[in-house]
Amino acid sequence: MDNLGRHILAEFYNCDENILNDHKLIEEYMVEAANEANATVVTSNFHMFNPWGVSGVVVIQESHLTIHTWPEYGYAAIDLFTCGDEVNPWLAFDYLKTKLKAEITETSEYPRGINSRIKKYSHKKIDRIQFKPELFAQTR
* Burial of residue 117 (number of CB atoms within 10 Å: 0-12, 13-18, 19+): exposed
Side chain identity at residue 61, one-letter code: Q
Catalytic residues: 63, 68, 83
- Separation of alpha carbons 91 and 19, rounded Å: 20
- Can you give 49-85 as a three-state secondary structure string? CCCCCEEEEEEECCEEEEEEEEHHHCEEEEEEEEECC
CB count in 10 Å sphere of residue 56:
19
